[in-house]
Amino acid sequence: MVCYTLRFSDDYAIASLAKYHARAKSRWLRWPLRIVCAIGLLALAALTVAIKAYAVTIVPLTFLALLAAGPRIDYAIVKRRYRKHTQYGTEARVDLSRDGLRFTSPDFASEIKWSAFLSAVQFSDGILLYRAPWDYVWLPDASITDGGPNDVRAIARSAISKYETA
């Protein structure tokens, strides 16, 4: 058995989202698309300045700012959602065994069998467990209080058929 102690905080929310984004499919196209959009918006802004439509120049510049700030907006939304959750700021204990996961906190306790997980992705600093493509649990190695990372990987590898290494 391996035990984790997780604190539901902004740091955990951002780390979870970052790991989830690291595994999202077709991300290779995003940077070229962003560059093309940025060039187009800059050209549109230059055109509005050239025709002396200064009030309209704000529109492409606003979209350019949104394009640049997009990931930070995602993080702000996730932080806001975490802060509204009743478990925000509390610590939870997660016990991994051959049977499944057991979550325990001051307000709730639940058990999840391994059959409920579709896949797992091993990172150098933890493991990401997926119950659905949008429903995931990030278990960082730094939060292990009993056992070791190799124990976690061995249990998950034997219990989840779709196990990948990042």
Instruction: Note the pTM of the prediction, 2 decimals.
Output: 0.74
For 123-151, how does the pLDDT look when each residue is reduced to its tens digit (9 = 90+)? 999 999 999 988 899 999 999 999 999 99
Q: What is the mean pLDDT of residues 29-40?
A: 87
- Tell me whether residue 19 is exposed, middle or buried, using C-beta atoms within 10 angstroms of its C-beta: 0 to 12, 13 to 18, 19 or more: buried
* pLDDT over 80 (residue 71): no
- Give me the helices (H) in the chain, please: 10-23, 30-50, 54-84, 149-159
- pLDDT at position 143, please? 93
- pLDDT at position 134, please? 86
Q: How far apart are CA 122 and CA 157, in angstroms?
A: 9
- pLDDT at position 27, please? 65
- pLDDT at position 26, please? 59
State the pLDDT confidence band at 85, using cuts at 50, 70 and 90: confident
- pLDDT at position 28, please? 66
CATH of domain 2-9+16-23+87-165: 2.30.29
* pLDDT over 90 (residue 38): yes
> 63 with 75: CB under 8 angstroms?
no
* pLDDT over 80 (residue 117): yes
- pLDDT at position 25, please? 63
